[in-house]
Amino acid sequence: MEKPYAIGIDIGGTNTVFGVVDKRGQIIEQGTIKTGKHSEVNAYMDDLVKNLQIIIDKVGGTANIKGVGVGAPNGNFFTGCIEFAPNLPWKGVIPLAQMLTDRLGIPASLTNDANAAAIGEMTYGAARGMKDFIVITLGTGVGSGIVVNGQLVYGHDGFAGELGHTTIRRQNGRLCGCGKHGCLETYASATGVARTAREYLETTKDASVLRNLDPKEITSKDVFDAAQSGDALAKKIFEETGSILGEAFADFISFSSPEAIILFGGLTKAGNLIFDPVRKSMEENLLPIFRNKVKLLHSELKESDAAVLGASALGWEVKDL
Amino acid sequence: MEKPYAIGIDIGGTNTVFGVVDKRGQIIEQGTIKTGKHSEVNAYMDDLVKNLQIIIDKVGGTANIKGVGVGAPNGNFFTGCIEFAPNLPWKGVIPLAQMLTDRLGIPASLTNDANAAAIGEMTYGAARGMKDFIVITLGTGVGSGIVVNGQLVYGHDGFAGELGHTTIRRQNGRLCGCGKHGCLETYASATGVARTAREYLETTKDASVLRNLDPKEITSKDVFDAAQSGDALAKKIFEETGSILGEAFADFISFSSPEAIILFGGLTKAGNLIFDPVRKSMEENLLPIFRNKVKLLHSELKESDAAVLGASALGWEVKDL
């Protein structure tokens, strides 16, 4: 009999969330532990496995679980290791997939968060039935998961799909956390929007409710609220952000000619404030043969469930032990 | 018994060259006809098939041919059609693969020239054994063939891999034949090199043997000859061209993390004049996780044979009738 469930685990800097998921993408059981509580990875694994075992037992034991998928920062699909993740408490290379497999007796597989999101959209979400698409995650940073020919693009070393670090501004580009200048992430993430807001407030005299805030404390949420209430400067900030994203998307399309680009994450809550300028700028910058062909879609995964769903989608694909 | 030969056909604006190729990439028989002679595609096909039949008979007839691969401008792998190719005499959509299959009784498949070059490198050349690489053709324009996971990237519509039309200069970018501004092709092709030469001659006072030429007539070959003879301005032009290519490659690597980027075509004859600045600029612009990992290679296909070899590589992969 086919095993009815997969487990998805999303490891973030603060929390680790996990769940048992069925084939239709319903989360049947779930739980969470604090990632940061354990500075030693074996203690973390003990805590995680103890809590996983509880929900595994609730759904009839390991015999009912096809596989475990994990989404984690710097997760390498090929090696099953988390490699030098700056936001996690464990340093160096952590063979996480193997540690889980050994302790649970269930095959486990690992990738980074954005790749997990892409597999999640393909399995349960907006990309069902698509063989070529790109998921762009617009959160604190800009992540990406690329699917070509029905397969996730991992590249020869497992690190493909770093579209947030392609260069969108080559002159006077903003300094990025990666050490480069002008990365897409420095403009088109939540922090990029806040940065643009501070720049506009400094370099223009335009009236704006954002001037009532401490510039250092401005967040993308503040800019969104201001834009919603009709603030012209705040709307301009979203237009500029969307326009830059659209320029970048036009180049991504020249690479893999996807059926759709699917947007996921905090910034997408801005809806048409961001989608409209993205679409306009993308079409303007596209090579003629690609125009009016590529869908720009919202993720169809509920944000609170998406990380676990995405990771669980990887769990369906693992090889049996 | 396995069929020992494949046929490769390369359709260019001036000539159509074709050959019978064995599994080791040896061209056993070959021929050529004038593409431009036939303004009507059926007359062209009659001429082509008549000439193909001669070499097919020489190698023992159609029973010995596994398949026919065709490389052509605007060739769409999915539809088998040449679609609106500006440099060919036949307008609109030409169902070329089907026409060949019908006339020869051998299955035929079609793609564009750069994709054929990529399959050629994978089958017989520098990419043997690689599953992730990018071929960049540096000729009159800049073409590309991308391989991910051992498969050519066609995208959802068959038109993926237009890396020559990604935007490398967003401010005051050069006007491209495609209608956009700042495309990589306007800087890093043979015509781009000539354009850079004209710009440098106009905007600087630097001494150069290139000043003895009519600026309108300068070619990349002139710049190469000048650089070879030690001309400082000519060397600077190649450095600038290589540097721009390296910037672009760094972004391509963030996309698909290839094992190698393979350079093919006329400009690569400049050797280290172009390879050295490409390598330097590529490494400087790479995200740290990709540094010192990606090989920059010369094509291993002899240029005069490459087009037929590349197309023939597609011939091995066609489905039997």
d(CA B148, CA B164): 18
Candidates B220, B238, B228, B84; CA nearest to B141 is B220
Q: Are residues A10 and A53 in the same domain?
A: yes
d(CA A242, CA A225): 17
**Contact state of B162 with A258 under an 8 Å Cβ cutoff:** no
d(CA B148, CA A152): 10
pLDDT at B1 over 80: no
In a domain, A31, yes or no: yes
Q: Are B73 and B88 in contact (CB under 8 A)?
A: yes
**Percentage of residues of chain A with pLDDT beyond 70:** 100
**Contact state of B165 with A254 under an 8 Å Cβ cutoff:** yes
Candidates B70, B97, B101, B100; CA nearest to B81 is B97
Q: Are B153 and B161 in contact (CB under 8 A)?
A: yes
Q: Sorting pLDDT into bands at 50, 70 and 90, what band is A303? A: confident
In a domain, A224, yes or no: yes
Residues ≥6 apart with Cβ < 8 Å to B147 = B118, B122, B127, B130, B131, B132, B133, B134, B135, B153, B258
What's the average model confidence in pLDDT over A167-192?
A: 96
In the DSSP assignment, the letter for residue B189 is: S
pLDDT at A1 over 80: no
Q: Are residues B312 and B289 in the same domain?
A: no
What is the three-state SS of B27-95?
Answer: EEEEEEEECCCCCCHHHHHHHHHHHHHHHHHHCCCHHHEEEEEEECCCEECCCCEEECCCCCCCCCEEC
pLDDT at B44: 97
Detail the DSSP E strand segments found in chain A: 5-11, 15-22, 27-34, 65-71, 75-76, 81-83, 93-94, 108-111, 133-138, 142-148, 151-152, 260-264, 295-298
Residue-averaged pLDDT of chain A: 95
Q: Are residues B293 and B308 in the same domain?
A: no
Tens of pLDDT, residue by residue over B41-85, are: 999 999 999 999 999 999 999 999 999 999 998 899 999 999 988
Kindly give the pairing relationship between strand B295-298 and strand B151-152: unpaired
Nearest CA in chain B to A146: B255
In a domain, B82, yes or no: yes
What's the average model confidence in pLDDT over A147-174?
A: 96
Nearest to A287 among B156, B162, B293 (CB): B162
The alpha-carbon gap from B34 to the nearest alpha carbon of chain A, in Å, equals 28
pLDDT at B173: 97
In a domain, A73, yes or no: yes
What's the average model confidence in pLDDT over A17-44?
A: 95
In a domain, B95, yes or no: yes
**Contact state of B287 with A180 under an 8 Å Cβ cutoff:** yes
Element (H, E) at A199: helix A190-203
pLDDT at A254 over 80: yes
pLDDT at A236 over 80: yes
d(CA A13, CA A36): 7
pLDDT at B244: 98
**Contact state of A257 with B156 under an 8 Å Cβ cutoff:** yes
Bigger pLDDT: A204 vs B320: A204
pLDDT at B15 over 80: yes
Nearest CA in chain A to B76: A289
Looking at chain A, the number of H-run helices and the number of E-run strands are 9, 13
Nearest to B257 among A130, A155, A250 (CB): A155
SS3 of residue A290 by DSSP: helix
What is the three-state SS of B96-156?
Answer: HHHHHHHHHCCCEEEECHHHHHHHHHHHHCCCCCCCCEEEEEECCCEEEEEEECCEECCCC
In a domain, B270, yes or no: yes
Q: Are residues B215 and B111 in the same domain?
A: no
Element (H, E) at A122: helix A113-124
Q: Are residues A210 and A279 in the same domain?
A: yes
d(CA B179, CA B188): 17
Which residues are registered as beta bridge partners of B18? Answer: B9, B31
d(CA B133, CA B113): 16
C-alpha radius of gyration, chain A, whole number: 20
Q: Are residues B157 and B90 in the same domain?
A: no
Q: Are residues A254 and A196 in the same domain?
A: yes
pLDDT at B110 over 90: yes
pLDDT at A186: 97
Task: For chain A, give the number of residues.
Answer: 321
Looking at chain B, the number of H-run helices and the number of E-run strands are 9, 13
To the question of pTM greater than 0.80 for the whole model, the response is yes
pLDDT at A85: 86
pLDDT at A2: 85
Tens of pLDDT, residue by residue over B186-214, are: 999 999 999 999 999 999 999 999 999 99
Nearest to A160 among B154, B165, B257 (CB): B257
Candidates B218, B224, B173; CA nearest to B194 is B218
d(CA A279, CA A258): 15
In the DSSP assignment, the letter for residue A55 is: H
Tens of pLDDT, residue by residue over A259-273, are: 999 999 999 999 999
SS3 of residue B168 by DSSP: coil
Which residues are registered as beta bridge partners of A138? Answer: A142
Q: Are residues A39 and A141 in the same domain?
A: no
SS3 of residue A234 by DSSP: helix
| CATH number of the CATH domain containing B140 | 3.30.420.40
pLDDT at B319: 86
Residues ≥6 apart with Cβ < 8 Å to A43 = none
Dihedral (CA of A171, B180, B187, B77) sign: positive
In a domain, A168, yes or no: yes
Q: Sorting pLDDT into bands at 50, 70 and 90, what band is A68? A: very high
Q: Are A90 and A82 in contact (CB under 8 A)?
A: yes
**Contact state of A153 with B148 under an 8 Å Cβ cutoff:** yes
Residue with tokens 């669980």: A312
The tally of domains found in chain B comes to 2
d(CA B308, CA B72): 11
**Percentage of residues of chain B with pLDDT beyond 90:** 91
Q: Are residues A233 and A146 in the same domain?
A: yes
**Contact state of A155 with B256 under an 8 Å Cβ cutoff:** yes
Cβ atoms within 10 Å of B92's Cβ, excluding its own: 10
Q: Are residues B292 and B309 in the same domain?
A: no
**Contact state of A257 with B166 under an 8 Å Cβ cutoff:** no
Q: What angle do CA A173, A238, B162 make, to 5 degrees?
A: 60
**Percentage of residues of chain A with pLDDT beyond 90:** 91
Q: Sorting pLDDT into bands at 50, 70 and 90, what band is A84? A: confident
Q: What angle do CA A41, A45, A49 make, to 5 degrees?
A: 175
Q: CA torsion angle for A194, A197, A202, A208 (degrees, to 10)?
A: -130
Q: Sorting pLDDT into bands at 50, 70 and 90, what band is A172? A: very high
What's the average model confidence in pLDDT over A88-114?
A: 95
Size of interface A-B (CB pairs under 8 A): 134
Task: For chain B, give the number of residues.
Answer: 321
A213: left (phi over 0), alpha (psi -120 to 50) or beta: beta
pLDDT at B51: 97
pLDDT at A43: 95
Using a CB-CB cut-off of 8 Å, the residues of chain A touching B153 are 148-149, 255-257
Q: CA torsion angle for B251, B285, A179, A152 (degrees, to 10)?
A: 30
Residues ≥6 apart with Cβ < 8 Å to B28 = B5, B19, B20, B21, B22, B59
The alpha-carbon gap from A120 to the nearest alpha carbon of chain B, in Å, equals 19
Using a CB-CB cut-off of 8 Å, the residues of chain A touching B85 are none
Q: Are residues A170 and A285 in the same domain?
A: yes
pLDDT at B128: 96
d(CA A265, CA A116): 13
Kindly give the pairing relationship between strand A295-298 and strand A260-264: parallel
Residue B4's identity, in one-letter code, is P
Query: Is the ipTM, as predicted for this complex, more than 0.90?
Result: yes
Q: Are residues A140 and A253 in the same domain?
A: yes
Nearest to A255 among B160, B250, B289 (CB): B160
d(CA A135, CA A116): 10
- Name the residue range of residue A90's domain: 5-120+304-317
**Contact state of B167 with A293 under an 8 Å Cβ cutoff:** no
B60: left (phi over 0), alpha (psi -120 to 50) or beta: left
The alpha-carbon gap from A161 to the nearest alpha carbon of chain B, in Å, equals 5
Cβ atoms within 10 Å of A61's Cβ, excluding its own: 10
In a domain, B125, yes or no: no
In the DSSP assignment, the letter for residue B9 is: E
